[in-house]
A and B are shown apart, each in its own frame.
Chain A
Amino acid sequence: MIEIDNLCKSFTLHNQGAATIEVMQNANLSVRAGECVGLIGASGAGKSTLMRMVWGNYLATSGHIRVGGLDVARAEPRQIIALRRETLGYVSQFLRVVPRVATLDVVAEPLLALGVETATARARAASLLTRLNIPKRLWPLSPTTFSGGEQQRVNIARGFAHAYPALLLDEPTASLDAGNREVVLDLIEEAKARGAAILGIFHDEAARARVCDRLVDVRDFAVQAA
């Protein structure tokens, strides 16, 4: 489902003397449907960079990233938009939403974008928020005012609203209490069971052991010192 071939990434900082920073070389990785692959490596080793490249957020310098048949490294913006709408989900560590939109609608939005009936989308959002223990009185409020843990759970609910065939998870269990952590791990296992290909970063080793089928160390993709 997710195929990464000879992927390289460098940043050129034009305003700092055109310094070029090579961050990744010849990354190779694949995630099959129903499989969960965990990325490991020290902070700054390039886990998030790799995830962002798969998401289309960072531009690949060379190589291929195929998600559901589309090469994200070469795709047109509109193809990536369609991919994100239909195929690829992403739970990031940060919630980025328009202020003033109700939590329920924030979670329902991925479904609404797919043309799902408003009532159906809201019902799905409500069931996820209930499972993730977001009190009902918070649903009509904007999540921008929530605590870190609440925002994280809203973000997860949003990421799992649509049954994406491929999912990117960036620290989904960070800053969650035991109960909610359990709910999130259940959601991940359910997604695997329905055939989703998952690529994730888990600092929580127990969680990693439970859901990941394989681990990939991104230090293997590090640029070899000359």
Chain B
Amino acid sequence: MNALSQHRPLLSVQHLGKHYGPRIGCTEISFDLYPGEVMGIVGESGSGKSTLLSCMAGHLVPDAGRVVFDTALGPRDTVQMSEAERRRMARTDWAFVHQNPRDGLRMGVSAGGNVGERLMAIGARHYGAIRATAADWLGRVEIAADRIDDAPRAFSGGMQQRLQIARNLVTAPRLVFMDEPTGGLDVSVQARLLDLLRGLVRQMGLSAIIVTHDLAVVRLLADRLMVMKDGRVVETGLTDQVLDDPQHAYTQLLVSSVLQV
């Protein structure tokens, strides 16, 4: 990925808001994400970061604002798209990695079938080619080739998460939404997953938005950081700048509350 061709944002979020009755889910969220950028969204539970992610990914309908994505046909507001268009985009240009692999995998379908589903959904009809692609992707996420016909319920948590990533990236999406991708995993397994994600992001030139409450995860994965509190953005900037020289009172509290090891 070179910086020269990237003058236009891949995703432009403008004044996005979502209320639950009188309560704020998130409000007045605006930012641009450029090709190849990884942005982290941090904040405590209830800060609105998951609501924001759901609104951007089209899982929730926002009640204000625009989510403009640079589609093959130019920038389009995905909030105004028909459900059919949005779904087509969700299985080609977009990917969504859930915190719990169970939400992102078909637990009764083999690993190969899980990876192949997106290919088949966009019209792949050659079994041999689908299987070869699935096998290649299992290799890329470090799952042994002989597990291709095993169902994910026979996998460890870390393997399930890697399978979910393979299933999502097989169609070479341009934007990946991740909701606590390392949540619920052992620390050693987390490190492996982070390393894998970093490599894939660089090799594929992916843009990603990662929601997490783990500051170590964003320090390693994210170029930029957005800090949320009570549904609003309180601080944004370069990841290491926000973590090392936080400006807002809440960010200072957040950073100083991390246990050092």
Q: What is the distance, in angstroms, from A170's C-beta to the closest C-beta of chain B?
A: 14
| Set A11, A80, A112: member contacting B238, Cβ < 8 A | A80
Task: From known contacts A13-B252, A101-B195, A112-B202, infer whether A59 and B34 are also in contact, taking CB-CB under 8 Å.
Answer: no
Q: List A residues 3-32 near B (Cβ within 8 Å).
A: 11-15
Chain B binder among A81-89, A154-162, A177-185: A81-89
Task: From known contacts A82-B3, A98-B195, infer whether A14 and B252 are also in contact, taking CB-CB under 8 Å.
Answer: yes
Cα A57 to Cα B219 with chains together (Å): 12
Asked if B249 and A15 make an inter-chain contact with CB atoms under 8 angstroms apart, the answer reads yes
Chain B residue numbers with a CB within 8 Å of A81 are 37, 223-224, 238
Can you name the residue of chain B whose Cβ is closest to the Cβ of A58?
A: B245
The interface bits of chain B over 231-261 (1 if a CB of A lies within 8 angstroms of the residue's CB, else 0) are 0000011101100110111001100100000
Cα A78 to Cα B248 with chains together (Å): 21
Chain B residue numbers with a CB within 8 Å of A56 are 238, 241
Q: Does B106 contact A (CB under 8 A)?
A: no
Asked if A52 and B244 make an inter-chain contact with CB atoms under 8 angstroms apart, the answer reads yes
Q: Does A99 contact B (CB under 8 A)?
A: yes
Q: Does A135 contact B (CB under 8 A)?
A: no
Asked if B34 and A78 make an inter-chain contact with CB atoms under 8 angstroms apart, the answer reads yes
Chain B residue numbers with a CB within 8 Å of A15 are 249, 252-253, 256
Q: How large is the interface on A (under 10, 10 to 19, 20 to 34, 35 or more residues)?
A: 20 to 34
Can you name the residue of chain A whose Cβ is closest to the Cβ of B194?
A: A98
Can you name the residue of chain B whose Cβ is closest to the Cβ of A9?
A: B245
Q: What is the distance, in angstroms, from A143's C-beta to the closest C-beta of chain B?
A: 13
Asked if A59 and B247 make an inter-chain contact with CB atoms under 8 angstroms apart, the answer reads yes
Q: List A residues 31-81 near B (Cβ within 8 Å).
A: 52, 56-59, 77-78, 80-81
Can you name the residue of chain B whose Cβ is closest to the Cβ of A105?
A: B199
Q: What is the distance, in angstroms, from A140's C-beta to the closest C-beta of chain B?
A: 14
Task: From known contacts A82-B3, A115-B2, infer whether A57 and B240 are also in contact, taking CB-CB under 8 Å.
Answer: yes
Cα A12 to Cα B252 with chains together (Å): 10
Q: Does A100 contact B (CB under 8 A)?
A: yes
| Set A96, A100, A112: member contacting B195, Cβ < 8 A | A100
Count of residues in B whose CB is under 8 Å from the partner chain = 28
Cα A80 to Cα B225 with chains together (Å): 13
Can you name the residue of chain A whose Cβ is closest to the Cβ of B237?
A: A77
Asked if A86 and B3 make an inter-chain contact with CB atoms under 8 angstroms apart, the answer reads yes
Chain A residue numbers with a CB within 8 Å of B247 are 12, 59
Asked if B224 and A77 make an inter-chain contact with CB atoms under 8 angstroms apart, the answer reads yes
Q: List B residues 193-238 near A (Cβ within 8 Å).
A: 194-195, 198, 202, 219-220, 223-224, 236-238
Q: Does A138 contact B (CB under 8 A)?
A: no
Asked if A57 and B241 make an inter-chain contact with CB atoms under 8 angstroms apart, the answer reads yes
Q: List A residues 168-214 near B (Cβ within 8 Å).
A: none
Q: Does B131 contact A (CB under 8 A)?
A: no
Asked if B244 and A57 make an inter-chain contact with CB atoms under 8 angstroms apart, the answer reads yes
Given A78-B3, A78-B34, A100-B192; 16 other pairs, CB 8 A cutoff: A15-B252, A52-B244, A57-B238, A57-B240, A57-B245, A59-B237, A59-B245, A78-B37, A81-B37, A98-B194, A98-B220, A100-B195, A101-B195, A113-B202, A115-B1, A115-B2
16 contacts between A and B (CB under 8 A): A12-B247, A14-B248, A14-B253, A15-B253, A58-B244, A59-B237, A77-B223, A77-B236, A78-B3, A78-B224, A81-B224, A82-B3, A98-B195, A99-B191, A99-B195, A115-B1
